[in-house]
Structure 1
Amino acid sequence: MQERDIPAVLSIQQEAYSPQLQEDEAVIRARLAACPQLAWVAEDAEGVCAYLFAYHSRVGKVTPLDGEFQRHEQADCLYLHDLAVAPRAGGRGIGPALVRKKLEQARAHRLRYSALVSVQDSEAFWSRLGYAAHTQLDQPQVSNLASYRIPAVYMVQALH
């Protein structure tokens, strides 16, 4: 992902997420600045059609909505913060392909887990990609999960 992709990312976010889940441009720019090597886009003939934000974290740490990516010196987890595919590109397998490629990269970096917060009834999608609900969270992480203000499920996948 490059700075020039941000308008397309914002447009896809608007199409993919309910208003209460949309993060503003400043947050998106901060995500890109924090981990540019882990922010990806997919393109088709019409331009950017999907994006994925991720960062290295610790399993059991939940990023709140609009929260900063918290870097951890002893990261053991690839946290997938946001995956969205434009409706025009739906059904082509772009989302799962981005995730699989990102998980390959995480394994190469010897990360032991991947985690995410499932929203908008996407738990079945993430389950098909190998994630399972992880409910053993301490109170600060439960509060972070509640920041989404809609049903949200913290999910984890072991990578090794």
Structure 2
Amino acid sequence: MAVTDLPIVERVAEVVHPGYPESGAVPAERLSLFPAGCLIAENGQGAVLGYAVSHPGQLGRPPALDSLLGRISPDADCLYLHDVALLPEARGLGLGESLVDLLRALGARSGFTLLALTAVNRSTPYWRRRGFSDYSGDEMLAAKLASYGGDAVYMISEV
């Protein structure tokens, strides 16, 4: 992902996650803090079909929806998949699995043993098929998840 991709990232987010709006400042900040974790998914003709935004994080401490990090925590112990969004026309192309594979490899290269994410939009079964499991955490995690709505589930997977 490059800075010039941010407008299309915002458009994809509006289509894929209308119930989870975030300011354009969120992916822009993640890109500036951890560019290796920000990826674009394209078709063979160069059309953007989706993206992934990830960054080092702390297990059980996801950022609240539409919040800025300020910096990468020096106590980061996992790669947090902030957002993986694919347009409907990307379904069946294997892009989601490819993005997750790339993020697993990035997590391993970055020295992490775990990936973490917050599943929304009833996507928990999708993530379970990709090796993620529910992580219960504590009251602080529950408070963060509340910003994502009632169906949000924090999940983890080994890299």
TM over 0.5: yes
Question: Which residue number in structure 2 is paired with residue 5 of structure 1?
Answer: 5
Q: For residue 91 of structure 1, report the CA deviation from its aligned partner.
A: 1.3
Q: How does 1:99-138 map to 2 (within 5 A)?
A: 99-135=100-136, 137-138=137-138
Is there any run of 5+ residues in structure 1 with no aligned partner, and where?
none
Number of aligned positions between the proteins: 157
Q: For residue 17 of structure 1, report the CA deviation from its aligned partner.
A: 1.2
SS at match of 1:151: coil
- Aligned partner of 2:5: which letter? D
Is there any run of 5+ residues in structure 2 with no aligned partner, and where?
none
Instruction: Output the CA distance in 1 between the equivalents of 2:26 and 2:52.
Output: 14
How high is the sequence identity, in percent, across the aligned residues? 31
Structure 1 segments, 4+ long, off by >6 Å, are: none
Instruction: Output the CA distance in 2 between the equivalents of 1:37 and 1:52.
Output: 11
SS at match of 2:157: strand
- Aligned partner of 1:30: which letter? E
- Aligned partner of 1:87: which letter? P
Closer, same or farther: CA 91–54 of 1 in aligned 2, 3 Å: same
Instruction: Output the CA distance in 2 between the equivalents of 1:95 and 1:138.
Output: 29
Question: Which residue number in structure 2 is paired with residue 71 of structure 1?
Answer: 72
- Aligned partner of 2:105: which letter? E
Instruction: Output the CA distance in 1 between the equivalents of 2:51 and 2:92.
Output: 15
Deviations 1:44-67 (A, max 9, x none): 225211100000112111221012
Closer, same or farther: CA 64–101 of 1 in aligned 2, 3 Å: same
CA RMSD of aligned residues (A): 1.5
Q: TM-score of the superposition, structure 1-length normalised?
A: 0.90
- Aligned partner of 2:90: which letter? A
Question: Which residue number in structure 1 is paired with residue 86 of structure 2?
Answer: 85
Instruction: Output the CA distance in 2 between the equivalents of 1:54 and 1:2.
Output: 14
Q: TM-score of the superposition, structure 2-length normalised?
A: 0.91
Instruction: Output the CA distance in 2 between the equivalents of 1:100 and 1:128.
Output: 13
Deviations 1:87-128 (A, max 9, x none): 122211101111111101211222021100000010011011
Question: Which residue number in structure 2 is paired with residue 151 of structure 1?
Answer: 151
